[in-house]
Amino acid sequence: MICDHCGRQVPDAGFCTNCGAHQGPASDAIAARERPEHFAAHPGEHVSQPSVFSTLLPHLGQTKIHEFRWAFLAGLAVIVALVATGLVVAALLASIFLVPALYLVYLYEAQVYRDEPAVVLGATLAGGIVLGLAVTIVADRVIGASLRGASGPAIGYTVIVPIIQLIVMPLPALLLRTRPQFGETIDGLVFGVTAGLGFGIAESLVNYSGVIAYQGVHTTSASWIYPMASLAVLVPLLHGSTAGAITASLWRISRAGTARWLSWFGIPLALGVAVAFYAGSSLLAGHAVAPLIVLLYELAVVLVVIVYIRHLVHHSLLEEARDLGYRAIVCPHCHHHVMAAGFCPGCGTALTAAPRRVTGAAPSTPAPAAGSESS
């Protein structure tokens, strides 16, 4: 068939394998082309659905995403068990490393770094850890000491420090921006998230170094459940998503396309989210609001930047689609055997968001004749 949107000859299926547009009769051609109900990395989800895993781990298929969700829940269960038994230090360490460890597994599983794992991990995760140590120590010992006025600590730690963090966090990922093999917006997102998670590791280790070094093996744990929830979920989500939003927007801003305007919101939105996270939670805690309400507020703030990332990545995947040549693959999302070039014709998954072994395993094959169907 001839695609109504790009004019190319493509397999007769639900989605154009060249431009990713939704095929078939539609009253709104723009909606069919932009397909907001089919997120390009995970077509079973709406673009505005605040799904954390499919947003920050976009290269994983549906089955793998579920495996990572279960692994994360299992890690949380272990942390709860450690807190309940009074092993606070062990719970702290598990909370700090849970999400970064899962993300390292994701990088390996999806082969995002292609053939340069040492370069990618060294420039992003290790670089984020080094910068996190430097910024957190300076903020604690220098900035904090110089702002000991009536409002100094509040302004310093809820406004100034978050801004400094967001300036520094993306720097390791930006070192990879000039490498041509990492030119897609989705690469910028993943590298930014990795750098942010590395920064979060260092920040948490410094902030809780006294507890880790001097806390007894067993201790009263009733007051630790909320700090553990923040360390295990909210801190990595905040740093990973804000750093990812900044780097993805900087990756995207240099490319053409109708969605380029989205990239201009990345930096101010990330700054606003970080300040709202720290200043808002400090204000709520200062008014003796229940800790659970504070955690829910912080989660709601972080989900704002998650939704932004989804829109940026979705439009980038549609506009940056590359013609990889028709090839026989097993779609990582719908698991159908299809002939695909840039998108799965059955479910619409962007192949640039698929694990690298999927897009690089099969050789190119000639394009099917007009009217042929994909299974």
What is the pLDDT, as a whole number, of residue 361?
A: 40
| pLDDT beyond 90 at 197 | yes
Higher pLDDT, 159 or 204: 204
Between 72 and 252, the more confident residue is 72
Helix (H) or strand (E) holding 172: helix 171-174
Q: 184 and 352 in contact (C-beta within 8 Å)?
A: yes
Give the SS3 label for residue 339.
strand
Among the listed ranges 49-53, 58-62, 69-73, 116-120, which one has the minimum average pLDDT value? Answer: 116-120
User: According to the model, what pLDDT value does residue 48 have?
Assistant: 92
- How far is C-alpha 341 from the geometric centre of its chain's CA atoms? 25
Euclidean distance between CA atoms 22 and 40, whole angstroms: 11
What digits encode the pLDDT tens for the residues 107-146? 888 887 777 787 888 889 999 999 999 999 888 776 655 5
Lookup: tokens for 75: 């890690």
pLDDT of residue 258: 62
Query: Is residue 132 a contact partner of residue 201, using CB atoms and an 8 Å limit?
Result: yes
Q: Which helix (H) or strand (E) holds 314?
A: helix 291-319
pTM: 0.86
In angstroms, what CA-CA distances link 303 with 167, 207, 266, 355?
21, 24, 14, 25
Share of the chain above pLDDT 90, in %: 38
pLDDT at 367 over 50: no
Q: What residue type is 353 in one-letter code?
A: A
Every domain of the chain and the residues it spans: 1-50+323-375, 61-319
Ranking 28-37, 129-138, 243-252, 290-299 by mean pLDDT, the lowest is 28-37
Q: Is the pLDDT of residue 217 over 80?
A: no
Is the pLDDT confidence value at 331 over 90? no
Q: What is the mean pLDDT of residues 178-204?
A: 91
CA 78 to CA 94: how far, in whole Å? Answer: 8
